[in-house]
Amino acid sequence: LSANNESRGALVVFEGLDRSGKTSQCGRLVSYLEGLGHSVELWRFPDRTTSVGQMISAYRTNKSQLDDHTIHFLFSANRWEKRSMMETKLKAGTTLRVDRYSYSGVAFSTAKGLDFEWCKAPEIGLIAPDLVVYLDITPEKAAERGGYGGERYEQLEFQRKVAQHYKLLKDSSWKMKVFCVDCRL
Ligand code: TMP
């Protein structure tokens, strides 16, 4: 996709810890852009509507056990299965506002101890975002927002590790055009 093509939609990704406010920020951006007359869609990963997405949901709610590498590939496969639709939409001029993408894939899996380079490899060839908005919140503040509990990753200790790995990712040169929003207050 050519970023110079003016009729092309933009791929804007929101990233952050669980409970960082991605979903509400996403919704606001979509309403704003629609108000300006843009065609915008709100997507999210994992996309639970596919069969891969259902395997991911079962894992997240502890209904199935999977090796860390296996679930990493499933998250990535879930993005790959949407790639051509994503390309079609962007080329048709629709802007996609996406809640989580490859950065979640890498930050969460490296937080479990998997190798950084290994984690990035399956993401190569996916459409690169035009902008990644990182909602910066402390793990403690996010936990205060409530609702932590049933899901495998929603544990304060684990979210602390994820925050560290997001930071490493942000400071690395991995195709991120990051705009950081301070949500700590
Ligand atoms: P959410 O649907 O509530 O945003 O939660 C998705 C969870 O899955 C969240 O804890 C982040 C995690 N995740 C990964 O571990 N790898 C990924 O590639 C993605 C997209 C999400």
Domains of the chain: residue spans and CATH: 11-182 (3.40.50.300)
Question: Strand runs (DSSP E) across 31-126, as ranges?
Answer: 40-44, 95-99
Which residue has its alpha carbon closest to ligand 1 atom 17?
A: 105
Q: Which secondary-structure segment (H or E) carries 133?
A: strand 131-136
From CA 70, how far away is CA 53, in angstroms rounded? 13
Q: Residue 71 and residue 109: Cα distance in Å, rounded?
A: 9
* End-to-end CA gap in the chain: 38
CA nearest ligand 1 atom 21, residue: 104
User: Which residue owns the Cα nearest ligand 1 atom 8?
Assistant: 46
Give residue-wise pLDDT tens across range 48-76: 999 999 999 999 999 999 999 999 999 99
CA of 40 to the centre of ligand 1 (A): 22
- Over range 134-139, report the average pLDDT: 90
pLDDT of residue 175: 59
Residue 185 reports pLDDT greater than 70:
no
pLDDT given for residue 2 in this prediction: 43
Q: In the prediction, which pLDDT does 85 show?
A: 98
